[in-house]
Structure 1
Amino acid sequence: MSNHDLAIIILAAGKGTRLKSRLAKVLHRAGGRTLVEQIVRACEPLKARETVVVVGHQAEQVSALVEPLGAVTVLQQPQNGTGHAMQVAKRAVGRAKFAVVLPGDAPLIRTETLKTMISAHRNGNAAATILSAVVADPSGYGRILRKSETAVAAIVEESQLTGDQREINEINSAIYCFTLEKLWPALAQVRPNNKHRELYLTDAIACLSSKGETILAHVVADAREVLGCNTRADLAEVDRVFREWKRSTLLEAGVTIQLPETVLIDPEVTAGVDTVIEPGVQLLGKTKMGARCTIRTGSVLTDATLGDDVTVEAHSLVAQSRLENSVTIGPFARLRIGTHVKSGARIGNFVETKKSTISEGAKVPHLTYLGDAKVGPKTNIGAGTITCNYDGF
């Protein structure tokens, strides 16, 4: 499917008051990335003509994150509602005919879900398509009122629900697909007729519906994809789901993870078949592990590269270092930035290294600090050895 006529609009201007943080909501992290980065990356495979991020609170920091990913940013100042945010974004979408609109705090959304929503929108010749979800507890969400199996009559905010409407468990995710030539005139008619005196995008959908335009609702298969992050508890739950998905991916690829719920794995981590990850391990950044590695309890690997048959014994730290095939380190070893341990070498307990090369078959068994060092093949470094190249300044 070609999306040369599609724009992505991410509404990321909000502060996130309920998080009780000095950090803007979309700059909080879940699943190893900021919320807004997760959303931009989920949209990348759509190959839209433009990705527009509407920024507001801490605009410079948000822009610095998303612009290297190919997005353009527009400033919403003041933040006067989702409808106003769309008006601000209008000048940046160019000649796009359609737009997918997402809130900046729903990072679990998957590319395939967006693709199916876009297809449903195009095939249904809709003015607007709402991504909805069926949930056990719909409290706190706007509800979808349907007039047929596919068509929507209205979105009703929770505060406006009456009678049987409270029993509806299909909710509005605040993720939409719009036909822009129909949206812009409707948006121009929206007025701030609410207690916050803001312009709401949902009012534009109501306007389209009142004109007889087709409004569809596409139900997401996994309701977790539309979880938002309004509170710290929400943020923790979203992070938990991300981690669960990543662990499942590795398990399906032939990696053993013991007590998976205790293991923290970032999205760009890779591992070869028959690698074993013990409980309490953290695999962070762009860590890459070959086949048949063993990472024992309590170890933390950050941007580390491991060959095949590597063993990291318990409670060891490896950061920005390279371990070749058949290397063993630990327990209680710390390999800092720039360490290169070559094939068959062994780093033992209570050893720290930085910017050092440990050559093939060398042994550093215990109680050693090696900084700015080159250790030759099959060398045996005795306990208490210290090498460094630091003048104190």
Structure 2
Amino acid sequence: MLEAIVLAAGKGTRMKSNLPKVMHPLAGKPFLQHVLETTRSLAPANIHLVLGHGADVVQASLNLAEVNVVPQEQQLGTGHAVMQVLPQLADDSVVLILYGDVPLISRETLEKLASVANRKALGLLTVRLPDPTGYGRVLRDQQGNISAIVEQKDASPEQLTINEVNTGFISVHAAFLRDCLPKLSNQNAQGEYYLTDIIALAKAAGLDVVALETRHLYEVQGVNNRQQQAELERLFQQHQAQKLMEQGLTLLDPARFDCRGDLQIGADCIVDINCVFEGRVVLGNNVRIGPNCLIKDAVIGDDVEIEANSVIDDAKIGPECHIGPFARVRPGSQFAKGAKVGNFVETKKAVVGEGSKINHLSYVGDAELGANVNVGAGTITCNYDGVNKHKTRIGNDVFVGSNTALVAPVEIADGATVAAGSTITLNVKTNQLAVARERQRNVDGWQRPKK
């Protein structure tokens, strides 16, 4: 049986933030959420989450269903953190120990690590670094077997030259944990109970210490400050971009691309610089996206062009649509084939029919538009009365002139025309012309005010 312990009790002082360190984002999700999602993919019998600083924030922000939250009232080191979980571990389980501020550990690596642990062996994940400063060094005996781990503050000058370091990820049998953790001492430079000291205890007890060395540094990189957070973000995005380009996506500059969720692509899609994808986004074939666009939780059909500086959020865009530039498509918007939403247009819960156009400078919210509707510049659907939202319904082949206010609830039937500058409060029937504006007066002899 597999159980997992995720250590997430630290404050993260070097982040200079009131937010718990494990709640800082990487690719749009908190570090800890990445770790929990990967841990859940292993299907362990139990996930024990050790929380300390900011526990209330973590519990309020993340889905911790089926996670056993264990408090660590005093942060006295990683060994002390694991001690808090001991009473809740099954005697016959293999325990995998992970860290909430190391977000990119992979399922494959964890599976390998878990597979080597049993009553006679302990698994340790290591990595070799060009600059090992700050990490615990892995000590080996003359036969090359791991004998102990020494933390940097306790290491001798000779030990500091070692570049193989402890990642902190350990797999161990619960029975050995119960036996060795009470033997830990805090007689060290930091006055803490180091989990890494169980390596020496394991050797003394005759257990094999099986070292697995990861080839991918990013998997075991923790985050202690804002610089490391930014570095890991760019590294993660570099890998995201590489995977997508291997699938056929054209990125005009992979270094200026952010995927903060799940992006699925069709054939021959092109994404310009500084585009951000959040949540789940699906692109059809031949989609072209201009620079500086934000697309979140959206489905984009084939042959769609999205011009620069457009925002699409929780919307469905049909094939052959044209969006932007500077368009804002808000949640609930659905565009049929060939619809066009132009510059400085905002839609919200708008169903736009096939071939319909809202070319510029308009707000269309809580509305249904039929096919081949032409909405002029400056048109607004007045959908909110201060308390409730109301719907505007526009039929097929309707022409709405510029600078028009459609005061919902209101219906414009097929083939109707609304004159420019009108404020429409009554329904318009099929093929009618609606004119709702004050009659123009031209005043002779008008004297313009003077300063």
CA distance in 2, matches of 1:126, 1:308: 57
1:24-49 Cα distance to aligned partner (Å, 9 max, x none): 01000112210001111122222211
2:95 paired with 1:99: yes
Letter of the structure 1 residue corresponding to residue 59 of structure 2: S
- Inter-CA distance 95–270: structure 2 relative to 1 (3 Å threshold): farther
Q: RMSD of the alignment, in Å?
A: 1.8
CA distance in 2, matches of 1:345, 1:93: 59
- Inter-CA distance 363–50: structure 2 relative to 1 (3 Å threshold): same
2:66 paired with 1:78: no
Letter of the structure 1 residue corresponding to residue 50 of structure 2: V
Residue in 1 that maps onto 2:359: 365
CA distance in 1, matches of 2:41, 2:144: 27
Percent identity of equivalent pairs: 36
Letter of the structure 2 residue corresponding to residue 133 of structure 1: V
SS in 2 for 1:318: strand
SS in 2 for 1:46: coil
- Inter-CA distance 159–364: structure 2 relative to 1 (3 Å threshold): same
2:86 paired with 1:90: yes
2:241 paired with 1:247: yes
Q: Residues 186 and 193 of structure 2 are in contact (CA less than 8 Å); yes or no, is this contact kept in structure 1?
A: yes
1:121-136 equivalence runs, <5 A: 121=117, 126-136=120-130
- Inter-CA distance 392–148: structure 2 relative to 1 (3 Å threshold): farther
Q: Residues 37 and 65 of structure 1 are in contact (CA less than 8 Å); yes or no, is this contact kept in structure 2?
A: no
SS in 2 for 1:159: helix
TM-score normalised over the length of structure 1: 0.94
SS in 2 for 1:343: coil
TM-score normalised over the length of structure 2: 0.82
2:194 paired with 1:200: yes
Structure 2 counterpart of 1:115, from 111, 115, 133: 111
Letter of the structure 2 residue corresponding to residue 366 of structure 1: H
1:140-179 equivalence runs, <5 A: 140-147=134-141, 151-179=145-173
1:273 to partner: Cα distance: 2.3
1:78 to partner: Cα distance: 1.9
Residue in 1 that maps onto 2:328: 334
Please identify the structure whose Cα radius of gyration is greater.
2
Q: Residues 128 and 179 of structure 1 are in contact (CA less than 8 Å); yes or no, is this contact kept in structure 2?
A: yes
SS in 1 for 2:5: strand
CA distance in 1, matches of 2:120, 2:233: 34
- Inter-CA distance 348–214: structure 2 relative to 1 (3 Å threshold): same
1:107 to partner: Cα distance: 0.7
- Inter-CA distance 111–149: structure 2 relative to 1 (3 Å threshold): farther
CA distance in 2, matches of 1:67, 1:370: 35
Structure 2 counterpart of 1:28, from 19, 24, 29: 24
SS in 2 for 1:94: coil
Does 1 or 2 have the higher relative contact order (CA < 8 Å, sep 6+)?
Answer: 1
1:68 to partner: Cα distance: 4.2
SS in 2 for 1:171: strand
2:315 paired with 1:321: yes
Letter of the structure 1 residue corresponding to residue 45 of structure 2: R
List runs of 5+ in structure 1 lacking aligned partners. none
Residue in 2 that maps onto 1:45: 41
CA distance in 2, matches of 1:196, 1:151: 27
Q: Residues 92 and 173 of structure 2 are in contact (CA less than 8 Å); yes or no, is this contact kept in structure 1?
A: no
CA distance in 2, matches of 1:377, 1:234: 52
1:49-83 Cα distance to aligned partner (Å, 9 max, x none): 11111111121232345544642211111222211
Q: Residues 120 and 218 of structure 1 are in contact (CA less than 8 Å); yes or no, is this contact kept in structure 2?
A: no
